[in-house]
Amino acid sequence: MRLENVTVFCFFASYLCALMLELTQFLRQSVTLKWSSLGLTVAGLIAQTIYLVERSRQTDLPPLLGSSHDWLLVSAWLAVVWFLGMKVWDSRLSIGIFVLPLVLVLVVTSRFASSEPNPRVSISYWGSMLHAALWVFGILGVILAMIVSVMYLLQHRRLKHKRAELPALHLLSLERLNRINWWLIVCSVPLLTLGMITGLWMSYLAQSSSAPVSLANSTFVAFSLIWLGMAVLFGWLVVSRKATGRLVAWRTVLACTFLLVTLLAIKFLSVDGIHARELI
Partner 1 sequence: MNVQVVYCNHQNANLALRERLAFSSDELLVRAYDELRARFPKSEHVVISTCNRVELYTAQEDPADTPTHDDLARFFSDFHQVPVIEFFDDLLECQGPEAVRHLFEVASSIDSMVLGESQIVSQIKAAFQLAMDSSANGPLTNSLFQRAMAVSARVRTDTKLSEGRVSIASVAVGDFGKSIFDRFDDKTVLILGAGEMASETLMYLRDEGVRQIHVCNRRLERAEALAKEFSGQAHPWESRLELLGQADVVVSTTGAERPILTAADFKPIRKKTGPKPVFILDLGAPRDIDSDVSHVDDGIFLYNIDDLEATCNANRKLRAAEIAKAREIIEEETASFMHDIYHKATGPIVKRLREHWHEISRQELELLFRKLPELDDRQREAFEKTIHRVVNKLLHPPLETLRDEARNGPPVGMLNTLKRLFHLRD
Residues lying near partner 1 in the complex (CB under 8 A) are found at 155-156, 158-160, 162-165, 171-176, 179, 241-247
- For residue 164, the minimal CB distance to partner 1 (Å) is 4
Q: Would you call 261 helix, strand, or coil by DSSP?
A: helix
Any idea what DSSP says for residue 25? T
Rounded Cα distance, 100 and 171, in Å: 16
Q: Name the residue nearer to partner 1 (CB basis): 75 or 155.
A: 155
- For residue 121, the minimal CB distance to partner 1 (Å) is 44
- For residue 174, the minimal CB distance to partner 1 (Å) is 5
- For residue 85, the minimal CB distance to partner 1 (Å) is 18
Integer distance in angstroms from the first to the last C-alpha of the chain? 39
Q: Name the residue nearer to partner 1 (CB basis): 30 or 209.
A: 30
Any idea what DSSP says for residue 117? P
Long-range contacts, 172-177 (Cβ 8 Å, 24+): 172/90, 172/93, 174/245, 177/148, 177/149, 177/151, 177/152, 177/245, 177/249
Rounded Cα distance, 143 and 204, in Å: 29
- Amino acid identity of residue 130, one-letter, is L
Q: Name the residue nearer to partner 1 (CB basis): 111 or 246.
A: 246
- For residue 247, the minimal CB distance to partner 1 (Å) is 7
- For residue 80, the minimal CB distance to partner 1 (Å) is 25
Q: Name the residue nearer to partner 1 (CB basis): 79 or 147.
A: 147
Whole-angstrom CA distances from 53 to 11, 109, 142, 201 are 14, 19, 25, 29
Q: Name the residue nearer to partner 1 (CB basis): 164 or 239.
A: 164
Q: Name the residue nearer to partner 1 (CB basis): 19 or 249.
A: 249
- For residue 99, the minimal CB distance to partner 1 (Å) is 20
Q: Name the residue nearer to partner 1 (CB basis): 2 or 241.
A: 241
Contact 145, 184 (CB under 8 A): yes
Rounded Cα distance, 207 and 222, in Å: 21
Q: Would you call 87 helix, strand, or coil by DSSP?
A: helix
Closest CA to 107 of 140, 63, 77, 137: 77
